[in-house]
Amino acid sequence: MGPEDGTPVLLCPGAATSRSLGFGIADLDELGVRLVSVDRLGLGASTASPARTLSDFGADIAELADRRG
């Protein structure tokens, strides 16, 4: 969400919320922010994986950041 060339801001929602939380969406263009939001395993559109840990999620986010540059 937000402009393609906006400053990327990573949102990792938790507490039983998902990437569709969407607060402040109307302000993203004005602020020049590209909101990148991800679901933790088992929340939102993601598939649960009981064997994975919070550390695994951190590694996933690091890989996402690397891939997005």
Predicted pLDDT of residue 56: 86
Predicted pLDDT of residue 5: 92
pTM of the full structure = 0.66
Predicted pLDDT of residue 47: 74
- H or E stretch including 58? helix 54-68
What residues have CB less than 8 Å from 21, skipping those under 6 apart?
11, 13, 37
Low-confidence ranges of the chain (pLDDT < 50): none
Predicted pLDDT of residue 15: 66
Task: Work out the percent of the chain whose per-residue pLDDT is above 70.
Answer: 81
d(CA 17, CA 38): 10
